[in-house]
Amino acid sequence: MSKTLFSDFNTVSAKAWKQKIQADLKGADYNNTLIWNTREDINVKPFYHRDDFENQPFLKVPSNPWNICQTIFVANEKQSNNKAIKAIKRGAESIKFIIPNKDITIPVLLENIDTATTLLYFELHILDTDFIKKIALIPSKAGIYILNDSIGHLAKSR
């Protein structure tokens, strides 16, 4: 997100927000109307402002960067490959292929896709060990993930 977007707006203090809310409540009590307690007796306010966190100790937790991902249902390998290549050219950093059956040819699906820089996800709607082994043989520096809901597939087939 661009920081210049936020430079177009004036900063507003927590006090100014609360005054505006109190004016909108037209005489109703702010604390009784908008603040509520959880079962753990924690007061939950209707809004939080940067001022609320100025003197709070924070743990620094490393986060994983987000990737732009395009999901593609694979009915035809060539068409799905073309969609993936177009998505990568438009800025996708990862591709999620939804594989409905074991008849999909992986080399055709991945033709001209740089597996060194493109993260790949394969959501399998099949349970086939040989097909999974084919995916595992794909050389990739960016990473390959196989998504499989065995229990969900078992429930659907029963």
pLDDT digits (tens, 9 = 90+) for 57-99: 766 777 777 889 999 999 999 999 999 999 999 999 999 999 9
- 62 domain residue, yes or no: no
Quick one: 123 and 152 in the same domain? yes
Quick one: 96 and 122 in the same domain? yes
* Letter string b/e over residues 51-86, b meaning 16 or more CB atoms within 10 A of that residue's CB: eeeeeeeeeeeeeeeeeeebebebeebeebbebbbe
DSSP state of 55: T
Model-level pTM?
Answer: 0.59
Domain that holds residue 139: 69-157
Quick one: 99 and 147 in the same domain? yes
Cα separation of 138 and 60, whole Å? 36
Q: Which residue has the higher pLDDT, 87 or 141?
A: 87
Quick one: 153 and 83 in the same domain? yes
pLDDT digits (tens, 9 = 90+) for 100-117: 999 999 999 999 999 999
Q: What is the pLDDT of residue 27?
A: 84
Q: CA angle 61-67-71, nearest 5°?
A: 135
- 89 domain residue, yes or no: yes
- 27 domain residue, yes or no: yes
CA distances from 44 to 16, 35, 51, 69, 93 (A): 19, 6, 16, 35, 38
Q: Is the pLDDT of residue 2 over 70?
A: no
- 78 domain residue, yes or no: yes
Number of folded domains in the chain?
A: 2
Quick one: 150 and 106 in the same domain? yes
Quick one: 73 and 49 in the same domain? no
Quick one: 88 and 151 in the same domain? yes
Quick one: 100 and 36 in the same domain? no
Q: What is the pLDDT of residue 3?
A: 54
